[in-house]
Structures are given as C-alpha cells and as structure tokens.
Amino acid sequence: MPILSTLRTTASAGVRFAQALVQKSQQTKVPVRYMGGNKMVVRPSRFQSQQLKDDVFYFLSLGIVPLGLIVLYTNVRIGPAELVDTPEGYVPEKHEYYKLPITRYISKYLSFNSIEKYHERSLYYLYKADMKRKAKLEQKKVRQLQKSQVDQKGWYYVPIQGTLEQREQSYESFKPNKKV
C-alpha cells in the first residue's frame, strides 16, 4: 500500500510538471525592459510663462534699479528741505513749498498744472458736496412739512366749464381735507 500511494503522488506531480512545461512553451515571450518603473507624463509646456516672468523681472529691474539709486542719492546727498524764516520781500516759488527734493523737481520741471488749479478744483468739489448736502436737508424739510400738514403733491386737471359758481363748486370738490 505504501508503494501505491508514493507512485500516485509522483505520477500526479509528473503530470503537473508536464502541463506546466506545455503551457510555458505555448506562451509568447515578451521582452522585459528594466527602466526604473517611472512613466513619462505628458503635460503642457511652461516655457511661455517662464519667459514672461523672466522678461517682467528683467525690465522691472532695468527701470527700478537706476530710479532707486537716483532716489537714494537725492535723499542722502540733498536731503529734505528745512523750514527757515524767509527774508523780507522774498516771495517763494511754488516748487519751494515741497519738502522732498524729488517732489520739488517734479513740481518745478514736470508739472503742467499749478497749485492754484489744484486748489480751485478741490474747492469746486467741496462746493459741490455742500450743495448736495443742502439739497438733501431741504428735501428732508419738505417731507417733514408734507407729513405734518397732510399736504401731498398732486397734479390733476380741473375742467373749466359753465359759470363762475359752477367752477367754484367743482374746485371745492378737489380740495384736500385738512385737519384743524
């Protein structure tokens, strides 16, 4: 008995081995490439955005660096203006009223509008705001009077026909009732 059981296990193992060999020979072999397992992901290019950032930085630094150096030089070398007494009979020019040297330069050479124009313009805006305020106050007062006197706006047409007495009677019918 023990002999039959050993033959049976070896026979079944041999059959399984033969089946595995047949299956292996029937399979097609695919070459395996060992490339690290990473896949190449296709994504849009960032060249244009990087180029734009580089250009913006370049042109900003091309303008900001010299202007920064000029501002630094004027503020360190010249400095802000100091308040002193004016001599008798001296009338200061409009650019001498500013404290910083760059503001004085802009006011003297690059400004097309005078201080007086700016002042007049600001006075006009103040006048306009004051007129709006007064109009609102007047409207508020009118509404309060209308409520207190029970008086309302009314546009209506009173037909004129007949004699004077008839006209007066028709007019009396249109008068609003007032509380006494």
Among residues of the chain, what percentage have pLDDT more than 90?
31
User: CA dist 48 to 33, 44, 69, 176, Å?
Assistant: 35, 10, 32, 77
Burial 30-68 (b: 16+ CB within 10 A, else e): eeeeeeeeeeeeeeeeeeeeeeeeeeeeeeeeeeeeeee
Q: What pLDDT score was predicted for residue 9? A: 62
Nearest CA to 159 among 170, 149, 169?
170
pLDDT in tens, 146-160: 888 877 666 665 556
Instruction: Tell me how far the alpha carbon of residue 69 is from its chain's centroid.
Output: 31
Tell me: pLDDT of 106 over 80. yes
Q: pLDDT class for 161, splitting at 50, 70, 90?
A: low
Q: DSSP assignment, residue 97?
A: G
Structure tokens at 154: 């009314």
Backbone angles phi, psi at 41, to 5 degrees: -95, 130
Quick one: average pLDDT of 12-38? 69
Quick one: average pLDDT of 88-115? 85
User: CA dist 53 to 45, 47, 50, 147, Å?
Assistant: 14, 10, 5, 66
Q: pLDDT class for 93, splitting at 50, 70, 90?
A: confident
Q: What pLDDT score was predicted for residue 58? A: 95
User: CA dist 127 to 130, 131, 132, 134, 140, Å?
Assistant: 5, 6, 9, 10, 20
Q: What pLDDT score was predicted for residue 1? A: 47
Q: What pLDDT score was predicted for residue 111? A: 72
Q: Which amino acid is at 133?
A: R
Q: Name the range with the highest mean pLDDT among 18-32, 94-108, 128-142.
A: 128-142
Computed over its alpha carbons, how large is the radius of gyration of the chain? 50
